[in-house]
Amino acid sequence: MSKLRVLALVHRHLVPPETIDEGTDITAAPWRTEYDVVSTLTGMGHEVKVLPVHDDLGDIRRASQEWKPHVAFNLLEGFDDIVIFDQNVVSHLELLKLPYTGCNPRGLVLARDKSLSKKLLAYHRIPVPEFDVVRMGRPVRRPKRLAFPLIVKSLTQEASIGISQASVVDSDEKLKERVAFIHESIGTAAIVEQYVEGRELYVGILGNQALQALPVWELLFTNMPEGSRRIATDRVKWSVKYQKKYGIDSGQATLDAGVAEKIQHVCKRAFRALELSGYARIDLRLEESGRVWVLEANPNPQIAKGEDFAASAAVTGLSYETVLQRILNLGMRWQPESVA
């Protein structure tokens, strides 16, 4: 394995410490992913330079010209605190002719807009829930094809931002209230989609052209209050206290081999339909009847050590070091003109 100069692009408020005390639990640390990636790559022998980024692309250009990295490890989820600007940073890296990890700009754009991605997936006959979009300043008019219950989300925000038990609505009055919440509190358009009762599944994908689907992973709800919806809310994903209280965990889904293979195949099709690259996570729901629905694709998902993506890779025998090296290699091999 050749040793690389890796420029780690991180948000300025997520610069990881160079060292931590032995035995320190960093599970809830906001810079957990950044620390895991930087410390692991360094331990593998790569030369890693951490670059805090906020609102100046010039910092990236100067680091590229002066340090001459072989590849940028992109851990940014936006630019200048604007989430949808993440694709612009990657476009800048392409203009600098600096290889980078993770998804290309086109894939980020297509996956970010949940309505656009659903239209593309539906065109490729990949099953997605019925939906409608309510733009800011527009009245809520529920199409007849959308029957309750419905779930209301931000059109562009990820990481379950704005999702709670109240996101699932069963009346027009509650629908209007939740759309107003998204508009006013999150500041984006709202997507209203058919709520699918079933199991919450995830599949990690690694690759550019040749794809590897990791084992199907499931979000498990073992002690939820009666009547609660089994959905990945903000607290389910990010509150360790809430997870412990209600027995929320994740692990490899118990499925018949044929069902698992079918789900992995669907996820590969979704990855290609949205022109993703590098690595991604596809989110799905599995009905009791066995029908699978693709909810959305998440380019550049959480890759902290022990989290779902890395844990599912470990089931196949891929160590955390191997996963990061694969991500680096995929970034080095990506050719921007391949999607032109």
Please report the pLDDT score of residue 244 as a whole number. 74
Contacts with 121 (C-beta within 8 Å, 6 or more apart), sequence order: 128, 270, 273, 274, 294
The pair of structure tokens assigned to 69 is 């990295």
pLDDT of res. 2: 86
* Per-residue confidence (pLDDT) for residue 45, from 0 to 100: 97
What HEC string does 113-147 produce? CHHHHHHHHHHCCCCCCCEEEECCCCCCCCCCCCC
pLDDT of res. 74: 98
10-residue averages of pLDDT along the chain (340 residues): 93 92 82 97 98 96 97 95 92 97 96 94 97 94 94 84 88 95 93 94 96 95 76 70 73 92 98 97 95 96 95 97 98 81
Give me 258's structure tokens. Answer: 């044929």
Return phi, psi of residue 207, to 5°: 145, 170
The model carries a pTM of: 0.92
Residue 230: per-residue pLDDT: 80
Q: What is the pLDDT of residue 339?
A: 62
Stretch (H or E) spanning 6: strand 5-11
pLDDT at residue 198 in the model: 93
